[in-house]
Structure 1
């Protein structure tokens, strides 16, 4: 996981506002998380930091959205992705498609099916954000250079400000993780969990004051 010194400078100077923001937890499913060594970095930090963001989002009344691949996808909906990454999650007895146990979606949170790495594509994510009056999106989950990067790019193209949490996303190698953060920083804000939590709390205080 990158520390604060490894976080690239962001091009935009946007400030997170809990009244405008939603939290997206992308593809944190058993199938994808099992690709990482268990009980060590980066999985430990990934789960801990997403948990902290989720708890604060709930406290601040921010929408919390989980995007997840469905089990046993057929070639039709998954399209060319099968040719590159295989069929994805399966219906196996160990619950491949389920969100990891520490982050199981709760009542009041949104669980959204996505069939592409970009969580906006062929989903109702954009409609959900508009209905909630949200034009900022905090992104965390896996993998940084696929789902996170592509979703952040599409958010920007739809006038939704992306905030990517550098130590609440993970990738299979440091090179891909770093590359993704550098690209995202051109059209989005890249920050650490601690920074984002501090800014969210500051935003709440500013509004209440």
Structure 2
């Protein structure tokens, strides 16, 4: 009746995501990021050192950092540790007493601990909207897109995406920022969401998202866009004054950024980026372009 021990499996990659039924574009100014049920209790069923869980934590942390740099509200769900029988109700039949037996495991894991300005919702059922003010919060923020990551993909994450869809909120399920009971159930959640209620995207898709009404690129977002192309080891040792090519950034990846920025109103050429060659060099180049009147709205959040 309780959740079983969960064997590790390969985290799905973007090239294996299912076909999409909609082509919604993620826009930072419209989005909210939901970190779903990343409590110690629910993660205890996994091997904490597995590649799956390491990737899950890393990808969620990367998305959260991007959201903080781009003004995207971050919302958590967390089940309470003292659920009354009448509150838990049918969940007892399906899953047993759950967190009631492990109150010390109620908190969100340290690696993703909520910040002071994040919102933490009490979770009562599979959907994050049930008995919560999530929809009202999103309306008050003027947001109608929901980025979803966490556990478990085919239960709370998928049901929340479905509920969002029925409330005319566009759900974006981050396929490589989820985990589940098995790879089959993980992919089941992606297939259902992508085909019936939302759009499945990758962590990288989130990190390179820009508003369609004009570029809104902060220094931290620029760094996040570059990091989306790098290996974890390179990110850990990254120096913003070192040559980006030495970290493995290639011409195809640079051209994808050139194309994306051009679509958003920032005219930077491949050759200009190749000559600038470092992250800080790129930022200086972008600032120069702005000074020339090609765009506005770039604010350097911090220096490296």
TM-score (norm 2): 0.66
User: Which runs of no fewer than 5 residues in structure 2 stay unpaired?
Assistant: 1-10, 218-263, 266-294, 297-304
**Higher Cα Rg: structure 1 or 2?**
2
For residue 100 of structure 2, the aligned residue among 90, 100, 103 is: 90
Contact kept? 1:91, 1:97, Cα under 8 Å? no
TM-score (norm 1): 0.94
In structure 1, C-alpha distance between the alignment counterparts of 2:100 and 2:88, rounded to whole Å: 13
The answer to whether structure 1 residue 141 and structure 2 residue 150 are counterparts is yes
Alignment of 1:123-142 (within 5 A): 123-142=132-151
Alignment of 1:188-207 (within 5 A): 188-200=198-210, 204-205=216-217, 206=264
State the 1:84 CA deviation: 0.2
Structure 1 counterpart of 2:110: 101
Which stretch shifts more, 65-74 or 131-140? Answer: 65-74
Judging by fraction of residues, say which structure has more helix: 2
Deviations 1:161-196 (A, max 9, x none): 000000101002001001010000022110110122
In structure 1, C-alpha distance between the alignment counterparts of 2:156 and 2:56, rounded to whole Å: 15
User: Which runs of no fewer than 5 residues in structure 1 stay unpaired?
Assistant: none
Structure 1 counterpart of 2:194: 185
The answer to whether structure 1 residue 19 and structure 2 residue 29 are counterparts is yes
State the 1:83 CA deviation: 0.5
The answer to whether structure 1 residue 150 and structure 2 residue 159 are counterparts is yes
- Between the two structures, name the one with larger relative contact order (CA 8 Å, sep ≥ 6): 1
Tell me the C-alpha RMSD between the 2 structures. 1.7
Moved over 2 A (4+): 90-93, 199-209
Judging by fraction of residues, say which structure has more strand: 1
Aligned length: 208
Contact kept? 2:40, 2:109, Cα under 8 Å? yes
State the 1:40 CA deviation: 1.2
Structure 2 counterpart of 1:34: 44
**Residues 127, 201 of structure 1: alpha-carbon distance in 2 compared, 3 angstrom cutoff:** closer
